[in-house]
Structure 1
Amino acid sequence: MIKQHQSLFAVFINLLTNIKLIIWPALLGLFNMNESRFTYFPIIVIVTLLLLLLSAWVQWFFFIFEFDEHELTVKKGIFNKNQLHIPFERIQTITRTIPFYYQPFHVVRMQIDTSGQGKPDVIFDALTIKQANLIEQKRRVAQNSIQKEFETIETTKLQYQVTTKELIVYALTSLGGLGGVVVLFTIWSQVDEMLPKNLKSSFEDFFNHQSVTGLCILFVLTVIVGIFIGFFRIFNRYFNFKIEHQNNHLDISRGFLAHKTMQLKLNRIQTIQLRQTMLRRLVRLVSVNVLLSASQDEKDAQTVLIPVASIDKIMTTLKKVLTSIDFDVDHWQVSNIDKAAWYQVRFSVLRNIFIMTLVISVVMFYFPSMLQRSYMLLFFIIMMVITAILILKNTLTITEQKLGFNQELVYIQRSDGFSKEGYYIRRDKIQGVRESGFITVFRKKALHLDVIVRDGNGHHIIHLRYVPQSTVNHFKQWMNTGL
């Protein structure tokens, strides 16, 4: 085994990481620095940068890795030495990320996950393309029991690739603008806390002297900027998204400014989730996620498998991507009892009317002036609107509920009234089921059924309402013995 270092570009990455650790305290000190001390500021900056650069170089120099045909060994640390041995056959996921500023230097950021305990086992900040390819090749050879060194495995043809048109529609229907506004607000709140008092007072005076029209214009501009940020985040994340099937894993690549590649082992897939938001239902688009058995980080517990596809083509696309799974469901069950929609609507409306009446009574008690006819009419209109929404929402919740299975797989569809989700789950991936319901539900020979599946390091529960007792019994029998 030959000892290797990462690319020297890792020194720059380490330097940026070190700067991030001190940037906010440094800015806070700068804003509160006296004019007499400001003379020494350039010297302080230069000395600090030199110390950070030295620290970054030391981190790079003492991070050593080596590998043979069977395992990868990583050594790091100066005084407290750490040595990690990773057998190639135990690697679950390898993720490559290539931000735009990596690309001119032909380096990649690589994460290797074996245990799935919430974080990667090893993170390489800057490997050369050759080093990364060699590690992935060794892993393929080990996991496929191929003995010849550097022998490659032929990749099948491309299984799926998102089109630019689909991606634009996906971004526009993601309500990403709300996320963009939240990002802007978060940045402002962080900066606002560190601004000096005179600068903060200038901003406050500016806003206080604005007219209502001016404030509305500022708000609209903020929303527009937020929408653009949200749109770009999604477009950047899923640009050129494509999937290739390679033996026992999928190669998923995506990204515009930062190109990311992930090797996902098929046996990690626990559940396939088809999801439609309210807006995507209007344009007949669906997204497909997979719930994984273990995640390299909490954000990747639920991985996007197909960002967007037409509802008419989704099954064809799924069968191309996951060729080993039989998606044809041929035993459909009665998923809800007669009048289930009425029972669901009645329960939800009565519960919410009780809550709203209680809230209004408390408000009236403490604010008697609101007993005027105009306020009462306003409360009545609000209650009618909420009631109408609840009726529609709960009716759709029941009518869109489905349950069916074949020999090895169950399909469960549920809705919260506005978004709709469908789940394909293999029989051996179901963690358990839970039955519940009031006495009145049992009298109707029905149950509320929860199906529990694994999701990352936790679990995901799929709720079904007013399922006939006979369907529940048939489902449990299928879980134990199949058809």
Structure 2
Amino acid sequence: MKPKHFHPFALIEHIILDGKALVVSLISLIVFFHLKPWQWALAFILWLGYEIIDYAMSTYQLTESELVFSSGIINRKVRHLPYQKIQNIHESQWFFLKPFQLEKISVDSAGHGGEKENQIQLPIVPSWVTWVLKEKQANQSEPLAELLAVVDKGLASKQADFNALQEAEKPLAEQLTRSAASESSSREDYIVQLPALLLYAMTAPELVAQFFVLWGISSHFDHDGKIYQTVFSEATAHGLVMASALLFLFIIVLFVFNIVKTVIVYYGFSVKQEKQQLLIQRGLFERRSLSLAESRIQSVQVNQSWIRRLLGYASVRMLIITDRNGDDDVTKSQPTLMPMVKAKEATKLVHDWLPKIVPEEDDLSGSAGYYQSLTMARNGIFLLWIFAGWILYFVHLWWAITLAALLTVLVAANGWYKGICTAVQLYADEGILVVQDARFSTKETFYIPMDKIQAMSVQQSIWLAHSNKRAHLVVTVRSDNFSSDISARYLKLSEVEKVYQEYKTFYSK
């Protein structure tokens, strides 16, 4: 295949993106320089000419063994990415690109140098390019000429399902063999329905933060407090019912905002398994897809906020290695695997896709006894009153005392809940470690394969060692292009030593 230029839409996108970056420079020019109209026109023509030349000099090429990307005008740069080095493929398709079968893709390699060194971004290319890359990633021995022949046939017949066309070209015996293999390794697809998305939006933990953000934004437009004063006066005049109605209206606006945002981001969310790859798709206006190699998944995380736990639901995320932060603006380095699923079904569903990461049955329970809960509640109250005590020393108002008392109750309850949730469980036969903790009243359960653990440490103070026989377990795994520490605190020393010895035995084999 000869080197190809990107679609002309890529030039338009590049001009828009670079144009935004030039706004600050233009403002500086206007302030410090007084250019004549013809000078502005000349500068614009030169800039536009540079963008066109840069677009003309950027090409991509699919060879038998690698993806080649060339760019640059003066400093020419040619990057080669072998197909076997491809780890993740991110796809982004806005609704206006779909009729043209065009999309943007980013291809991650297995390096550790960051996004610029280990990722190739192809802006606005035909969708068949992504299909060929996935096929070559799954099977490097597949002849490129045969794949391009399938593409040509699909384009001629205006059929976008290249997989179906490829299967039709295979001999009947091979089709039956591949079909049987596919059925034996098939996994149940996961598709989020609209009611589940609505429930996900209404139980989002960030709702509280959004409440204060919207309150702050409204305060920004009311410097003198006249609007608040008027509303408060009207509410006081009409009694408690009016004040409650205004608060209820504010909460409704917040819920509507969160629902609309969630539907736009997660609409049509689906997960399916294709050729040892997890394909995650989502988005209403911009359809995003992440083709993720199972080898890049470091751990699976099941989250349950207190309200979702009451309703019996949970969310599932992953810690992965990627140079693009998972190409997920919402979850960054933790791509969402399941936005909302029944908690009792979560483990089994994920086990069907990732049996080497999540055990089939999870019998993990919380801590036994009250030592962890009491200790964590005590620690939280102590840290709170380091600051609250100083404030109350200078501020003797009733509202400050009331606020300090409420915060004390909340911190104590959060510490108690954290202690109840904290636990570890080792599945030695499967080689899986489960670590459970709680953060800001959200229970977090991590499923970590032993071979994905970068380091494990046991931390213990002198008091814990001699008086209480307790210790902290800290597990380090890779996440994004860095490392993440997963810890469980104030565990029984016998439990920690058992896990640590199993870890050493695993790596000594």
TM-score (norm 1): 0.80
Shift of 1:385: 2.3
**Structure 1 residues 332 and 303 mapped into 2: Cα distance closer, same or farther (>3 Å)?**
closer
Q: Distance in 2 between matches of 1:413 and 1:158?
A: 27
Report the residue type matching 1:2 in the other structure: K
Q: Distance in 2 between matches of 1:219 and 1:21?
A: 40
What does residue 160 of structure 1 align with? 190
Q: Does 1:22 align with 2:50?
A: no
Q: Distance in 2 between matches of 1:319 and 1:396?
A: 27
Unaligned runs of 5+ in 1: 193-202, 365-369
Structure 1 residue aligned with 2:406, among 385, 406, 412? 385
Structure 2 residue aligned with 1:171, among 189, 201, 205? 201
Structure 2 residue aligned with 1:418, among 414, 425, 441? 441
Report the residue type matching 1:165 in the other structure: P
Q: Distance in 2 between matches of 1:10 and 1:384?
A: 58
Structure 1 residue aligned with 2:76, among 81, 96, 103? 81
What does residue 438 of structure 1 align with? 461
1:234 is paired with a residue of what secondary structure?
A: helix
**Structure 1 residues 211 and 466 mapped into 2: Cα distance closer, same or farther (>3 Å)?**
closer
Structure 1 residue aligned with 2:308, among 264, 275, 280? 280
Q: Deviations over 1:265-314 (max 9, x none)?
A: 00111111011223323332211111113432376422111111111221
Q: Deviations over 1:210-238 (max 9, x none)?
A: 56236999999988766544433322221
What is the 5 A alignment of 1:200-239? 210=227, 212-213=229-230, 228-239=256-267
What does residue 114 of structure 2 align with? 118
Report the residue type matching 1:314 in the other structure: A
Report the residue type matching 1:113 in the other structure: D
Structure 1 residue aligned with 2:501, among 463, 466, 477? 477
What does residue 199 of structure 1 align with? none
**Structure 1 residues 337 and 97 mapped into 2: Cα distance closer, same or farther (>3 Å)?**
same
Q: Distance in 2 between matches of 1:161 and 1:45?
A: 53
What does residue 197 of structure 1 align with? none
Q: How many equivalent pairs are there?
A: 452
Q: Distance in 2 between matches of 1:157 and 1:98?
A: 26
Q: Distance in 2 between matches of 1:332 and 1:278?
A: 18
Q: Distance in 2 between matches of 1:112 and 1:216?
A: 58
Shift of 1:11: 1.6
Q: Distance in 1 between matches of 2:101 and 2:233?
A: 47
What does residue 196 of structure 1 align with? none
Unaligned runs of 5+ in 2: 148-165, 168-177, 235-245
**Structure 1 residues 78 and 425 mapped into 2: Cα distance closer, same or farther (>3 Å)?**
same
1:23 is paired with a residue of what secondary structure?
A: helix
Q: Distance in 1 between matches of 2:12 and 2:216?
A: 28
**Structure 1 residues 228 and 342 mapped into 2: Cα distance closer, same or farther (>3 Å)?**
closer
Shift of 1:99: 1.4
Q: Distance in 2 between matches of 1:187 and 1:48?
A: 38
Structure having greater relative contact order (Cα 8 Å, sep ≥ 6): 1
TM-score (norm 2): 0.77
Report the residue type matching 1:19 in the other structure: G
Question: Once superposed, what is the RMSD of the aligned Cα atoms?
Answer: 3.9
Structure 1 window deviating more from structure 2 (131-140 vs 402-411): it is: 131-140
What does residue 12 of structure 1 align with? 12
What does residue 354 of structure 2 align with? 322
